[in-house]
Amino acid sequence: MSETGARNRSTDERARRARQEPIRVTAIGGGIYEVSTPSGHEYTVDLEEGRCTCPDHQYRGTRCKHLRRVAIEVTAGRVPAPGQREATCADCGRQFFAPENSPDPVYCGRCTLRTGETVVDRETDSLLVVVESTDDRANEVRIPERGWSVADHFSNQSYDPEDVVVDVLYPLRRGVSPDDVSPGDLKRYSFPRGRLRRAGQ
């Protein structure tokens, strides 16, 4: 057998083991993963830097089975990719991966309100149109010409002060299409996301 053939076989063997062994992968943030092997070893993998603390990688410089395994788990969506974290949607309760730098509460893609969508204000039952879903938090957004934040406003005090802010146009009478309303009739408001529900839900 040629040397090249032997090397390829050992590469294939490593790839096969990386898929089959019951290795546990845990994301600990910052693109770092803890890998526990069946034999009780724990290694730390830095996925983006392509580094692992195992001897195979440290001394032989190989792309070890731990690095491969973390990549497989990320690709399969079983652990968060670098820059993401595990999160629970504040609206539907579904588990998903949120940006690592966005604190709770967070909303999954399905529960993030889109520009132009019609929503209902839980406080007044009015129909509103979404202008923009922001990442800003209710306790950080100041209401122009007032001394308080969106969270401080009397009508928002029963909502999470750290909720994300959604800008809406308000009000829209029921049965009136957004196309039939002149812009002068509408006022832009900032509300905590929790105050809004999708029309028809």
Residue reference for tokens 């879903």: 133
* Nearest CB to Zn ion, comparing residues 88 and 139: 88
* Nearest CB to Zn ion, comparing residues 166 and 172: 166
- Cα–Cα nearest to 73, from 109, 108, 38, 21: 21
- Cα–Cα nearest to 51, from 73, 75, 74, 35: 35
CB of 66 to Zn ion, least distance (A): 3
CB of 29 to Zn ion, least distance (A): 19
CB of 60 to Zn ion, least distance (A): 10
* Nearest CB to Zn ion, comparing residues 52 and 71: 52
* Nearest CB to Zn ion, comparing residues 87 and 138: 87
* Nearest CB to Zn ion, comparing residues 7 and 110: 110
CB of 112 to Zn ion, least distance (A): 8
CB of 88 to Zn ion, least distance (A): 9
* Nearest CB to Zn ion, comparing residues 63 and 153: 63
CA distance 30 to 177: 46
Which positions touch Zn ion (CB under 5 A)? Answer: 52, 54, 57, 64, 66, 89, 91-92, 94, 108, 111
CA distance 133 to 49: 34
Q: CA 86 → CA 52, 78, 104, distances in Å?
A: 22, 10, 11
**One-letter amino acid for residue 60 of the chain:** R
CB of 89 to Zn ion, least distance (A): 3
Which burial class, exposed, middle or buried, applies to 72 when counting CB atoms under 10 A from its CB (0-12, 13-18, 19+)?
A: middle
Q: At what angle do helices 3-20 and 65-75 cross, to 10 degrees?
A: 50
153: DSSP letter: S
How far out from the chain centre does Cα 189 lie? 25
**One-letter amino acid for residue 84 of the chain:** Q
